Amino acid sequence: MQRLTEEQVLFFHLNGFVSVPTPVTDDAEIARMRDAYDRMFEQRAGRESGDQFDLAGADEDGETASLPQILNPAKYAPELNEGKYLDVLKGMCQQLFGPEASVHVAHAIFKPAGHGAATPWHQDEAYWDPNYQYQNASIWMPLQEASIENGCLWFAPGSHEWEITPHQPIGGDVRIHGLEMTRLDLVENAVACPLPAGGVTFHRNRTAHYAGPNKTNTPRRALILGTGRGNHPYPGTRSFPWNEVKQTARDERARAAS
Ligand code: NI
């Protein structure tokens, strides 16, 4: 079974991210996953329930999404919950977080050919409940090659040690679900992580990251999985006002469906 090298484990703990350019499964499995992935987006799976929405736009009906995202994609494409890739990733997560660590399929972010928007600099924890502290990581797996041109991930080394920096809905537009950091001066020495299909990156809950727009004429598909240890109550108080101001069409659909 494919494992992380000792250098990769050390690099992750030191920098808050690591890039694993060796595919975690074979081409046939990646092709099957890609088919399931495309079907899900073509059918607009989860739109009614609020699980599918535009991360970077106002997401009103009839608009073309610039950065469509699906939460819990395995609900709509159960194939994604099976396969060799999950066994390999689970083993790697246990190397990083200990024998209790499991792995789950979290979401899918699609950058359409030619017009897929950038995913601005952010820390994932900024989206979550401020009353907890987290010790977890996201795994980002492209289902075709990911390059600087089509929107591979970039990381700010060492940013996993930061507190959560100020964020806002993208462009300050409260109709938009996606968040962006407002202190870009903090991002230094960003590292791009191009990958082949089926390669992965791991990044911590506070690691600042970014993905560029898709300037190519083919779609960029990324599957994001989660792993880590359980959450604990946050010691002290903090608030994430950027989530409280949001008024998204997605939340409205979720409310109407529930
Ligand atoms: Ni993120």
Tell whether 107 is covered by a domain.
yes
pLDDT in tens, 114-135: 988 899 999 999 999 999 999 9
What is the CA(212)–ligand 1 centre distance, in A? 13
What is the CA(242)–ligand 1 centre distance, in A? 16
What is the CA(192)–ligand 1 centre distance, in A? 14
Q: Going by C-beta distance under 8 Å and a sequence separation of 6 or more, which residues neighbour residue 205?
A: 123, 124, 125, 128, 134, 135, 136, 137, 138, 160, 228
Report the greatest alpha carbon distance in the chain: 49
Tell whether 1 is covered by a domain.
no
What is the CA(190)–ligand 1 centre distance, in A? 15
What is the CA(187)–ligand 1 centre distance, in A? 15
Phi then psi for residue 105, to 5 deg, are: -75, 120
pLDDT in tens, 186-198: 999 999 999 999 9
The residue behind tokens 């390999």 is 88
Tell whether 81 is covered by a domain.
yes
What is the CA(150)–ligand 1 centre distance, in A? 16
Q: Domain total for the chain?
A: 1
- pLDDT of residue 64 exceeding 80, the answer is no
- Least confident residue range of 43-52, 94-103, 129-138, 166-175: 43-52
Tell whether 69 is covered by a domain.
yes
% pLDDT > 90, the chain: 79
Domain range spanning residue 170?
A: 6-257
The pLDDT, as a whole number, for residue 257 is 85
Tell whether 51 is covered by a domain.
yes
